[in-house]
Amino acid sequence: MTSLNKDRDLWIADPSGGRALAYTASCCLNIQIRSSDR
Amino acid sequence: MRAYVYLVVGGMYLTRRLLTYPLPDGRWLLINTLSGAIDIIAPAVAEALKQLLQNERVSLDPAIETRLRERGYLFDNPAHEDRRFQELFSTMMERRKREPVQFAICPTYSCNLRCTYCFEGDLTAGPLRAMSPEQVRNAFVAIETIRRERHPGANAHLILFGGEPLMRPVKPCVALILQEAELRGFGVGVVTNGVQIEDFLDLLLPKKRLIRQIQVTIDGPQEVHDRRRPFKSGRGSFSRIVRNVEVLLQEGLPITIRINVDRENISSLPNLMAYLEDCGWTLYPNFSCYIFPVTAYTDSNQTGILAEDEVLSELQRMFGGVGGQMPGFALYGFKVLGHVASVLNPSSLPLRMPPLFTYCEANGLRYFAFGPDGLIYPCGQGVGRQPLAIGRFHPVFELWEDRCALWERRSVLTVPQCQSCPLATLCGGGCAFGAWVRTGSLMEPNCQGSPQVLDRYIDRMISHIMHLAPM
């Protein structure tokens, strides 16, 4: 069995670590939100 | 041996959230849409899994069985699998609460361009109607109330949207929006076609620290862009946009060029990228660029749409094959292939995707668009379509809870056809707005050929996949 992604990258291990950008990628605008924003 | 007997007795349930692809050498590619695992298994293991799918008992090498459990393929029973799925869903929903809420203000629905693929259609062509100062103030009252009552503690971000927000007749309205945003400490993003930016410099430059991003669309070299994004008169918009972007870059404002790609313009990308480099734009630290596939949110006026696999295939052909690094631009808007391509070919899609229990921020009500009609919409694609409105902010503020609930609840756990679909966490149930346009219901899936897109992508990548894991 050859795993093409690492165990630590599985969703069940870390569902969204480091992936916040994907959620801010709306259909019309892709923005990197700064943590200092309100 | 004892552990093995126990597991057989205790049950060995193979997840149904599984996509399997036989490889030419007898091995299988597995895509696990519960755990996110992507693996290649030997022919003997494939045979065993086939038996498990038919609910037959099998003997597995204990080491393989352990590995299959670690990777989220095997569970004790269906309830065990379901519990893990619910846990993942809950974790994602908790994390989503920490994502920013987006508030889009449309000073007008009108636009001075007539882009061939515009999803807003006739909405942009009517007589110009701008938000009144009172509407702008009421929009901010609504924003503060929504934040306080529905999303306490979440970051928020303001977007100037439209129509085209940077048109001369709505300049006083834009000035007031920026002033109100500054008072409240909001960062602001601007989605503009860029043709009249020169008339807004006196507003934008003094508010530079508020501006998180100005997004301007350029769809190709001049000839291609002008054909796709002309003025009402039919005249091209390219030269004016380029002149304006140049000024913004020199002034240090954060500029993002968006390239909407479909069948008509994708082959011109190398020329556009060369042009942007020749202009020296790519050297600016405040410059970025991304590609977004034109998407068929509605059935109208949308010819030449490229599916996700077709976009990736074309890009790989033009920019150096399957392992080639995409030069100078990011790719967004990939849903069903997002996770799979980021694992199989991270040079094409380096952004790792989470499981998509929802398609976008509209589900979960984390996006609110305010229009000059005084209505609040849950999605940028749906602005101006009154039956989609979820409330109003002028003359009084109210959210219509029955409509809000539909958007808030829509996920792959609530759309009936998504509940047992093995692709669900890859596509998030599809665009809700598109589902509504096609079927009149938000609780329908909007598959848009996702299974075929994934199948075609894997087919095209077969030799690359086998190269990743030589036998």
CATH of the domain at B230: 3.20.20.70
Decide the pairing of beta strands B255-261 and B211-217.
Answer: parallel
Domain membership of residue B313 (yes or no) is no
Shared domain check, B134 and B24: no
A11 CB near a chain B CB, below 8 Å?
A: yes
Domain membership of residue B196 (yes or no) is yes
B290 CB near a chain A CB, below 8 Å?
A: yes
Shared domain check, B17 and B156: no
Residue where one domain finishes, among candidates B93, B116, B134 = B93
State residue B299's pLDDT score.
56
Residue where one domain finishes, among candidates B68, B93, B118 = B93
Shared domain check, B282 and B193: yes
Shared domain check, B191 and B118: yes
Burial B85-100 (b: 16+ CB within 10 A, else e): beebbebbeebbeebb
State residue A23's pLDDT score.
46
pLDDT in tens, B294-331: 987 765 556 799 999 999 999 988 987 665 566 778 88
Whole-angstrom Cα distance, residue B163 to residue B158?
A: 16
Domain membership of residue B199 (yes or no) is yes
pLDDT in tens, B234-267: 999 999 999 999 999 999 999 999 999 999 999 9
pLDDT in tens, B347-388: 877 777 889 999 998 999 999 999 999 999 999 999 999 999
CB count within 10 Å of CB B446 equals 24
Q: Show the tokens assigned to B450.
A: 């996702």
User: Does B354 contact A27 at a Cβ distance shorter than 8 Å?
Assistant: no
Domain membership of residue B429 (yes or no) is no
Closest Cβ–Cβ partner in B186, B354, B367 for A26: B367
Domain membership of residue B194 (yes or no) is yes
Shared domain check, B101 and B66: no
User: Does B102 contact A11 at a Cβ distance shorter than 8 Å?
Assistant: no
Whole-angstrom Cα distance, residue B142 to residue B191?
A: 21
Contacts of A5 in chain B (CB under 8 A): 36-38, 343
Count of structural domains, chain B: 2
Tell me the shortest Cα–Cα distance from A4 to chain B, in angstroms.
Answer: 5
Shared domain check, B165 and B126: yes
Domain membership of residue B431 (yes or no) is no
Shared domain check, B174 and B33: no
Shared domain check, B80 and B36: yes
Domain membership of residue B103 (yes or no) is yes
B191 CB near a chain A CB, below 8 Å?
A: yes
Which region, left, alpha or beta, applies to residue B351 given φ > 0 means left and ψ of -120 to 50 means alpha?
Answer: beta
Shared domain check, B41 and B9: yes
Q: Show the tokens assigned to B80.
A: 């065990």
B167: helix, coil or strand? Answer: coil
Shared domain check, B145 and B31: no
State residue B316's pLDDT score.
87
User: Does B212 contact A27 at a Cβ distance shorter than 8 Å?
Assistant: no
pLDDT in tens, B10-59: 478 999 999 999 999 999 999 999 999 999 999 999 999 999 888 888 88
A37 CB near a chain B CB, below 8 Å?
A: yes
Domain membership of residue B348 (yes or no) is no
| Model confidence, pTM | 0.93
A6 CB near a chain B CB, below 8 Å?
A: no
Closest Cβ–Cβ partner in B64, B88, B96 for A23: B96
Supply the ipTM of this predicted assembly: 0.89
Q: Show the tokens assigned to B457.
A: 């992508």
Residue where one domain finishes, among candidates B93, B110, B131 = B93
Q: Is the dihedral of CA A37, B410, B300, B450 positive or negative?
A: positive
Shared domain check, B227 and B129: yes
Mean residue pLDDT across chain B: 92
Give the up-direction half-sphere exposure of residue A23: CA atoms within 13 A in the CB hemisphere: 27
B91 CB near a chain A CB, below 8 Å?
A: yes
> By residue range, what is the domain housing residue B64?
2-93
B92 CB near a chain A CB, below 8 Å?
A: yes
Nearest CA in chain B to A13: B35
State residue B5's pLDDT score.
35
Shared domain check, B121 and B44: no
